[in-house]
């Protein structure tokens, strides 16, 4: 990973740390959802690596679905709500939904999505989020499964992007400032 790593100032979470924590999260979910009809809902694109790893650590017959959502910027009238670019494929009525995300930042995306999924008749909706950037929170969102608390730094990797790149970095790292200054 030398080509990607040359843009990284420091590694925050290693591949091994991710693997270990994700396995624990999978075990917790396996224990908590015995006998329940579970749908994992991955929020693309950021959730992809975490979703792939987490689902293989859950020893239950879960189903998978995905959504693509974007939160409106602060300057629009719709600030604080979300724009669904790709919706779920299947009905979630009566299902136990676990929304899978790479990172929670302001919390606006999840604060809007969770009530929506509940309104659609899900039996329960919980969140499994790999990275928690607590300091940036604007909405009080309950996250049942958190991988790691991280500082408010410009991080990339394990699904998190800068200008759509670095999602495929297998660890979480802090981007060198000259990379995003350069653009």
Contacts with Mn ion by CB under 5 A lie at 46
Q: Which is nearer to ligand PRP, 36 or 165 (CB)?
A: 165
Q: Per CB under 5 A, does 28 bind Mg ion?
A: no
Residue 89 is given by DSSP the state: S
Catalytic residue among 105, 111, 149, 152: 105
* Class of residue 72 by CB neighbours under 10 A (exposed 0-12, middle 13-18, buried 19+): middle
- Per CB under 6 A, contacts with ligand PRP among 44-63 are 45-46
Q: Per CB under 6 A, does 132 bind ligand PRP?
A: no
Rounded distance between C-alpha atoms, residue 178 and residue 165, angstroms: 15
105 noted as active-site residue: yes
SS3 (DSSP) at 138: coil
Among 39, 41, 49, 105, binds ligand PRP (CB under 6 A): 105
> 62 contacts which partner out of ligand PRP, Mg ion, Mn ion, none, CB within 5 to 8 A by kind?
none
Rounded distance between C-alpha atoms, residue 89 and residue 16, angstroms: 33
SS3 (DSSP) at 13: strand
Compute how many residues bind Mg ion; rule: CB under 5 A.
1
Catalytic residues: 105
């Amino acid at each position: 990973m030398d080509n990607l790593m040359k843009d990284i100032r420091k590694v925050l979470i290693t591949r091994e740390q991710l693997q270990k924590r994700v396995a624990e999260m999978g075990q917790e979910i396996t224990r908590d959802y015995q006998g329940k009809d579970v749908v994992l809902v991955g929020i693309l694109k950021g959730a992809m690596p975490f979703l792939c790893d987490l689902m293989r650590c859950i020893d239950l017959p879960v189903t998978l679905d995905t959504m693509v959502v974007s939160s409106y910027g602060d300057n629009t009238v719709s600030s604080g709500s979300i724009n669904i670019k790709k919706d779920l494929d299947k009905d979630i009525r009566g299902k136990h939904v676990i929304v899978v995300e790479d990172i929670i930042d302001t919390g606006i995306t999840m604060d809007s999505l969770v009530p929506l999924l509940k309104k659609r008749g899900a039996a329960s909706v919980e969140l499994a989020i790999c990275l928690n950037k607590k300091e940036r929170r604007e909405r009080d969102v309950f996250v049942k499964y958190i991988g790691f608390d991280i500082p408010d730094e410009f991080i990339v990797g394990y699904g998190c992007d800068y200008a759509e790149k670095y999602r495929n970095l297998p660890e979480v790292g802090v981007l060198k400032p000259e990379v995003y200054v350069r653009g």
